[in-house]
Amino acid sequence: MRTSALFAAFLSFGAVLPAQFTISEVLIDGPGSDDGLEFIEIRGPASTPLTNYYVLIIDGDGSNAGDIDHVIPLGSVSTGANGLLLIRDTTAVLQPPPDPATTVLVYNPTPDIENGTSTFVLGFGNPPSVGADLDADDDGVLDNGIPGFTTVDAVSITDGGNNDRMYARQLGGTEFPYNGEFTPDCLYRIYDETGAPFGWTVADVVAPGPTGPFSFDFAANEVQGGLAEGYGPQGLDPGRINGRITLWTNVYGVDAANGGSQVMVLDAGQANAGLPYLFLGSFAGTRPGIALHPTVTLPLNFDPYLVALTGLINTPLLNPSFGVLDGRGRTACAFTLPPGVLPPDIVIDHAAIVLRPAPFGFTFASTPARVVVQ
C-alpha cells in the first residue's frame, strides 16, 4: 500500500461516525441453533431515549442484495445507566449475565438473522419496509440511499459469496472484506479510552452451552481486527461495556503469492501523545514476551525478525515503524509483504512500544496484532 493510501485510511479512521449511539456488538451465528442466541448491543449516552431509532439489517447475498431483512424498532426504550441497550431474541439467562444497569429489549427476529453477507445499520427517521429492495439492480450501490432515514452507524460482513454486496461504506460505516478463512459469527466494537469508537473486530465464537459464555475462537485463529489470545477481550460481553485492545488491524491476512498489506492503527492513549513509538514483530509468538520495564512487557518473543526490525526502521516491509505519536497518542503503520517471499500458513505478530527519551524508558506496549500469510 502506498503511504498516501495508508494515511488516507488512518485519517478517515474513527472520523466517520459522529453519532451519539453506536452498534457495539452483534452475535448472528451462535454455536448450534441460532434462535435464542442472537443479540445486538447498542452503546450511547446513559439513560437516553432512542426515540425514532431503528436497527436495519440489509441482505447482501447475491440476488437478494439490498433487501431489507429486518427492521427492529428501538423507540420504546432508553439506554441503561451504563449507556448500553441489549437487544436479545430470548429471555434465557446469558453467561455472563448482562450488567444490571443495561436496558434489555427482547425482540426475536423472524426468521433468524442471516449468517451470510449483511449490513447492520443504526439510525433514525422513517424506516424502509421489510422486504423493500434498496438496490434493484444488485450493483452494490443503494439506488436512493435509505430514503427518509438518517444513518448514524453501519457495518458490513460477508461470507465471500459471488456477487454479494456490502453497503456500510456508502452509509459512512465499515466493511470487512472476506478474509478467506471464516465467515464471522460476531462483530465486536473496540472503543478508545474516551468511549469513542476506535475499530471493529470480527470472530467466530465457541461456547460450552447454548447461552454462553461466547469465547472468540483463538484456537482456530478465526479472529481478526487485533483480537489476541490472552490480551484484551477474550469473548463477547453482551450487556457489559466492551473490553479494549490498543492495536487494530484492517485485514486478517496477506496473500503469499501476490503479496499484500495490513494496516495497523495504534491507540496508545492521550498520556503518550507526542512520544516516539517503534513497531516490532515476531514469528515466535506473543508469550511470555519481553519485559522492558516492571509495568511494560512487549507481547512478542525474541526471534531473528524482531532483532532485524530494531535496526531496519521505516523500510517498505514495516512503514513507518518508527515515528512520533499524534496528539491523541495514535499512529498507523503498514506491514507489506512482497510477492513470493513467504509460504502460506505462517503467522506473524506485531506490537508497538512507546519510548520516553529523557530519562530514557518505556511508557507503553500495545496489545499484539496478528497477520496470517495466506
- Calculate Rg over the CA atoms of the chain: 21
The torsion angles phi and psi of 311, rounded to 5 degrees, stand at -110, 0
- What is the smallest separation between the CB atom of 149 and Ca ion, expressed in angstroms? 17
Asked if 139 touches Ca ion (CB under 5 A), the answer is: yes
- What is the smallest separation between the CB atom of 197 and Ca ion, expressed in angstroms? 13
Asked if 108 touches Ca ion (CB under 5 A), the answer is: no
Residue with cell 508469550: 287
Element (H, E) at 305: helix 304-311
* C-beta of residue 281 within 8 angstroms of C-beta of residue 349: yes
The correct pick among 17, 28, 56, 154 for binding Ca ion (CB under 5 A) is 28
Q: Which is nearer to Ca ion, 41 or 192 (CB)?
A: 41
Q: Which is nearer to Ca ion, 164 or 267 (CB)?
A: 164
Pairing of strands 84-88, 103-106: parallel
Q: Which is nearer to Ca ion, 32 or 339 (CB)?
A: 32
- What is the smallest separation between the CB atom of 26 and Ca ion, expressed in angstroms? 10
Measured distance CA(185)–CA(37) in Å, rounded:
11
Residue with cell 512500544: 353
- What is the smallest separation between the CB atom of 167 and Ca ion, expressed in angstroms? 10
Q: Which is nearer to Ca ion, 32 or 338 (CB)?
A: 32
The correct pick among 135, 175, 204, 229 for binding Ca ion (CB under 5 A) is 135
Beta strands in 44-117 (DSSP E): 53-59, 68-73, 84-88, 103-106
Q: Which is nearer to Ca ion, 68 or 333 (CB)?
A: 68
Asked if 137 touches Ca ion (CB under 5 A), the answer is: yes
C-alpha angle 11-282-174 in degrees, rounded to nearest 5 = 30
Q: Which is nearer to Ca ion, 116 or 253 (CB)?
A: 116
Considering all CA atoms of the chain, what is the largest pairwise distance in Å, rounded to the nearest integer? 64
Peptide bond into 213 cis (omega under 30): yes
Asked if 349 touches Ca ion (CB under 5 A), the answer is: no
Q: Which is nearer to Ca ion, 48 or 115 (CB)?
A: 115
Peptide bond into 97 cis (omega under 30): no
Total Cβ atoms within 10 A of residue 5: 12
Measured distance CA(96)–CA(80) in Å, rounded:
18
- What is the smallest separation between the CB atom of 187 and Ca ion, expressed in angstroms? 11
Tell me, residue by residue from 235 to 274, as one string, x for binding to Ca ion by CB under 5 A and - for no binding: --x--x-x--------------------------------
Cell of 244: 479494549
Asked if 366 touches Ca ion (CB under 5 A), the answer is: no
- What is the smallest separation between the CB atom of 185 and Ca ion, expressed in angstroms? 9
User: Interaction with Ca ion in 40-79: which residues (CB under 5 A)?
Assistant: 41, 65-66
Three-class secondary structure of residue 322 per DSSP: strand
Asked if 159 touches Ca ion (CB under 5 A), the answer is: no
Cell of 155: 457495518
Measured distance CA(248)–CA(264) in Å, rounded:
6
Asked if 141 touches Ca ion (CB under 5 A), the answer is: yes
The per-residue b/e assignment along 48-77, b for 16 or more CB within 10 angstroms, e otherwise, is eebeebbbbbbbbbeebbbbbbbbbebeeb
Asked if 34 touches Ca ion (CB under 5 A), the answer is: yes
Q: Considering only 33-41, 54-62, 176-184, 254-262, which stretch makes contact with Ca ion by CB under 5 A?
A: 33-41
Total of residues contacting Ca ion (CB under 5 A): 19
Q: Which is nearer to Ca ion, 102 or 321 (CB)?
A: 102
Measured distance CA(353)–CA(374) in Å, rounded:
27
- What is the smallest separation between the CB atom of 62 and Ca ion, expressed in angstroms? 9
Measured distance CA(14)–CA(191) in Å, rounded:
10
Alpha helices in 164-288 (DSSP H): none
Asked if 32 touches Ca ion (CB under 5 A), the answer is: no
Residue with cell 438496490: 135
- What is the smallest separation between the CB atom of 245 and Ca ion, expressed in angstroms? 14
User: Interaction with Ca ion in 279-308: which residues (CB under 5 A)?
Assistant: none
Asked if 25 touches Ca ion (CB under 5 A), the answer is: yes
Asked if 101 touches Ca ion (CB under 5 A), the answer is: no
Q: Which residues bind Ca ion (CB under 5 A)?
A: 25, 28, 34, 41, 65-66, 112-113, 115, 133, 135, 137-139, 141, 143, 237, 240, 242
